[in-house]
Structure 1
Amino acid sequence: MTGPVPELEDRAIACAKRLCAADRVLLASHIDADGLTSAAIAAQALERAGIPFETVFEKQLDEDAISAIADTDYDTVLFTDFGSGQLDVIGEYEDAGDLTPVIADHHQPADRETDYHLNPLLFGINGASELSGAGASYVLARALADVCSGSRAAAADGGERVDESRSSSEHRSDGGAVAESTGPTARADNRDLAALAVVGAVGDMQAAGGELHGANAEIVAEGVEAGVIETGKDLALYGKQTRPLPKLLEYATDVHIPGISNDANGALRFLDELDLELKRDGEWRRWAGLTSEEKQTVASALVRRAVSRGVPATKIDGLVSTAYVLSEESVGTELRDASEFSTLLNATARYERADVGLSVCLGDRGGALERARQLLREHRRNLSNGIDLVTREGVTQEDHVQWFHAGDRIRETIVGIVAGMAMGNAGISRSKPIVAFADKNDEEVKVSARGTHSLVRKGLDLSIVMGDASRAIGGDGGGHDVAAGATVPKGNEEAFVERADEIVGEQLS
């Protein structure tokens, strides 16, 4: 095997050999975009290797969830996009002979070792910015194609597509046809799965500075070679595939351009002044449908407007980033753009429909895709309402952090997204990490924290903040340096904030 990440190759092969030797496997995965793509990559790799499996999803891999997994009659459990941070608990069941864990994750590991643990952090690779959970699953998938070929009843052409329509169901094949444009070689060695790995990395906010780096970039290169990914410089605006041009510009707030951003009439006037055919049959065109010359005209005009309105040069540079396009998906759909694809997946998982997101990842372009789009519309409404709530009511400022408590007014599954999107609004600073609380149940509160890459460069590590502050009050948490979460006993929020504020102060001093 010549995999995309040489540092992980030996461990990936060891994990693949263990999976290949199993009679069947329980695949357990997280539910966000990175978790769903991780599961989809693993599911297709197991299918192609001829390894029977069942898929389950967990919003949080706590002790109850691990106990339930251990109580199944599966000897081998593949954890994707979680498991590392819970290895101390998983290890107890491993010691008791209840299961053999195989872990493909990128989160901070607990202080425990196990034989089949594929995590970039164990090999000097940053799991928050250089390799996502989906990336770890992809490295494992590449090893599976090599290790299991010929040793099991794996189809030479990569096998059939899987359709998982429930979040916990016995694995089955629907016999559906799979597009062969990637060619048999890319499917046989699983390089075609690089597209999902890129979606997972983008969804995990790993495209720092508008581009994927490190091991992620190596996976991108394999996807390009396999014909499933196209890259190139493009406007760094969300919605280039699906939003009408006026809405694309109006909602482009990462780089605020006075007179266009958050200004529907201003965006219309800006476009009307351009000597371009920006409407067809009475409908506004989408960015993805413009020619290269038309895109250049719009981009140049945007830059001129930004300069004339005093936008700093460093901000203007942020108008351009690397685009990651899934070349096998239809132009003008959410699935064509890695960022829009990941948002669609997040919308399914946050509303307890991980099964829908998985089905979309596995190729369902019918009912599952339409249901995902419905969930996305609901998700956007809820995000908008949540951001309006936080902006209107404001946040509480401490010395080193800022925070708000949404109670039951924002779903605990999206409160972290709301917090991150609200940063920079009136009264909400981007110079401090933001901590958000939302009710999880009658006894527990979900805590989500978001920072910026600039703060991370200064020493911020929210994984440590969430973990230490939550455990100090009888909870638990973790995640990444720029985004992390925890669950704490209700009534202890102020004590949590006090401890989190101390830790952030120490990190940034």
Structure 2
Amino acid sequence: MTVSADTVSESDTIPVPELEQKATACAKRLRAAERVLVASHIDADGLTSAAIAVQALKRADIQCEAVFANQLDAGEIKRIAASKYDTVLFTDFGSGQLDIIDPYVRNGDFEAVIADHHQPAMTHDDNPAFSLQYHLNPLLVGIDGASQLSGAGASYILAQALESDTTETDNRDLAALAVVGAVGDMQSSTDGLTGANAAIVEQGIAAGVIEETTDILIYGRQTRPLPKLLEYANDVQIPGITNNESGVAAFLDDIDIPIRSDGEWRRWIDLTMDERQTVVSGLLNRAIASGVPAEQVNDLVGTTYTLTAEAPGTELRDVSEFSTLLNATARYNRADVGLAVCLGNRDAALIEARHLLQTHRQNLSEGLQWVTAEGTTTESNVQWFDAGGRIRETIVGIIAGMAVGAEGIRDDLPILAFAEKSETKLKVSARGPQRLVRNGLDLSTVMQEAASAVGGEGGGHDIAAGATIPINERSTFLEIVDKTVGEQL
């Protein structure tokens, strides 16, 4: 992957040659494999990571298939070993499980290749007997895996290394999926993607599959009717508009923006540039007049990404909507549907994905309503809620992130969400405000240390992490988390 000075800011120190060397070694091992099992996570980043890997392997004439898991634990790795593949490519997880993967490699059960961006569980420095050689991770070369390169980005760099003189494509078209993964992994800010992610965007633009623009930062620009777009805009709470159907209607009437054309609802993409500017100006004025903090007002407009090869007006055209569609598949045990959409199926798979998306939206809405109604319990340094069996453990982290800053939920503390995973285990999802991360918050370390202390497993990123713990250890786990966060800050 080529990174130019125009692509990366001076603050982004990216030793790309080292990353490329690791990718080249991984690609060489994959080419030597008889067949490859791609194992990946079930979120949007995991699905796009697997799709990029599968596309690249097939283009290199390497036989492969994909499997997915919510959590890569000892039991899941044992099942993978039983599949009798000589080579397993782990994408969007694996680094945090090096200690339990390595014994299988040493025993000759399979060769492991890892393309991940999570905190490694160990390295050769920790264990000289460590035998796993093929490990592609931005953290190993000084790149922030939480903000500058996603799991899909790591897979994309591996795809670049898998190119050959006989390959019909240079794989740059796969940059579109890498950007979907990065945005789905919450790595984009108002200013867009940065670091190695930004370099991938540039390659996608050059390949003609990505368009980068400045636009309103409200979810649903492609598909939602204009009134609903504004009503459901929760990222920036605007009094009289957010969650206010009649307020939205009055606002649009005041600025003279027609909401229908030929009997059909108009969407954001149907507005002229002048109309869009009128709406944005009106929203900014309303927010300022209502006392919305300046930093929140500024979040109304920023960098957006459009996938130019996808049909306008569909969920696949906008990277945020695409990532949400993918979350609606694998998190409901239909990773096969999400993968098929990523691989280009625009028929049965897309229809099923849209059906799952409707269910997903309903579950998120109901879950958020429950959390805001029940509120959170506040400790010294964190806030938390326990959803029990009311919210699926696969989506409780998404709801936790949505809840921060909602009515009655503080936005200045990390939030922990608990949900039943089984009769004996609790799933924990943690989300932290960006400003606390800048001040030293690292939820990956917090989850890892607290979970380990109570006999569980944890990890992730500084801003978003998770754990699985024994169901009767919640109180002790919370005490350790609260203390550790306090020490970090």
What is the TM-score when the length of structure 1 is the normalising length? Answer: 0.91
| Post-superposition offset of 1:276 | 3.6
What are the superposed Cα offsets for residues 188-222 of structure 1, whole Å, 9 maximum, x if unpaired?
11000000000000000000334100000000000
Work out the CA distance in 2 between the residues paired with 1:282 and 1:435: 45
| Post-superposition offset of 1:246 | 0.5
| Post-superposition offset of 1:17 | 0.6
Work out the CA distance in 2 between the residues paired with 1:420 and 1:255: 14
Please list every run of 5 or more consecutive structure 1 residues that lacks an aligned counterpart in the other structure. Answer: 151-155, 158-187
Work out the CA distance in 2 between the residues paired with 1:94 and 1:477: 23
Correspondence for 1:97 among 96, 108, 111: 108
CA contact (8 A) 2:305 2:319 kept: yes
Paired residues, number: 471
446-455 or 35-44, larger mean C-alpha shift: 446-455
Work out the CA distance in 1 between the residues paired with 2:293 and 2:77: 50
Correspondence for 2:81 among 70, 78, 87: 70
248-257 or 276-285, larger mean C-alpha shift: 276-285
1-10 or 390-399, larger mean C-alpha shift: 1-10
Correspondence for 1:438 among 411, 419, 424: 419
Correspondence for 2:299 among 318, 322, 342: 318
Work out the CA distance in 2 between the residues paired with 1:295 and 1:103: 44
1:144 aligns with 2:125: no
CA contact (8 A) 2:2 2:199 kept: no
| Aligned partner letter, 1:118 | L
1:352 aligns with 2:363: no
Kindly report which structure 2 residues correspond to 1:155-194, keeping only aligned pairs within 5 A, or say none. 156-157=167-168, 188-194=169-175
1:79 aligns with 2:96: no
Seq. identity, %: 64
SS across alignment from 2:239? coil
CA contact (8 A) 1:3 1:143 kept: no
What residue number does 1:185 align with? none
SS across alignment from 1:209? coil
1:130 aligns with 2:141: no
Kindly report which structure 2 residues correspond to 1:321-400, keeping only aligned pairs within 5 A, or say none. 321-400=302-381
SS across alignment from 2:96? coil
498-507 or 268-277, larger mean C-alpha shift: 268-277
| Post-superposition offset of 1:307 | 2.2
SS across alignment from 1:57? strand
1:237 aligns with 2:218: yes
Work out the CA distance in 1 between the residues paired with 2:294 and 2:425: 45
56-65 or 296-305, larger mean C-alpha shift: 296-305
Work out the CA distance in 2 between the residues paired with 1:276 and 1:435: 41
SS across alignment from 2:162? helix
Work out the CA distance in 2 between the residues paired with 1:470 and 1:210: 34
Work out the CA distance in 1 between the residues paired with 2:92 and 2:199: 19
| Post-superposition offset of 1:292 | 1.6
SS across alignment from 2:95? coil
| Post-superposition offset of 1:124 | 0.1
Correspondence for 1:422 among 403, 413, 429: 403
CA RMSD of aligned residues (A): 1.3
| Aligned partner letter, 1:34 | D
278-287 or 381-390, larger mean C-alpha shift: 278-287
What is the TM-score when the length of structure 2 is the normalising length? Answer: 0.94
SS across alignment from 1:478? strand
CA contact (8 A) 2:252 2:258 kept: no
SS across alignment from 1:145? coil
| Post-superposition offset of 1:455 | 1.2
Work out the CA distance in 2 between the residues paired with 1:6 and 1:378: 44
What residue number does 1:456 align with? 437
| Aligned partner letter, 1:242 | T
What residue number does 1:26 align with? 37
| Post-superposition offset of 1:363 | 0.6
| Aligned partner letter, 2:197 | N
Correspondence for 1:499 among 477, 480, 488: 480
Please list every run of 5 or more consecutive structure 2 residues that lacks an aligned counterpart in the other structure. Answer: 5-15, 125-131
| Post-superposition offset of 1:291 | 1.9
SS across alignment from 1:50? coil
What are the superposed Cα offsets for residues 122-150 of structure 1, whole Å, 9 maximum, x if unpaired?
0000000000000000000011014xx44
What are the superposed Cα offsets for residues 353-397 of structure 1, whole Å, 9 maximum, x if unpaired?
000000000011111111111111111111111111111112111
| Post-superposition offset of 1:303 | 1.5
What are the superposed Cα offsets for residues 129-176 of structure 1, whole Å, 9 maximum, x if unpaired?
000000000000011014xx44xxxxx43xxxxxxxxxxxxxxxxxxx
Work out the CA distance in 1 between the residues paired with 2:427 and 2:112: 27
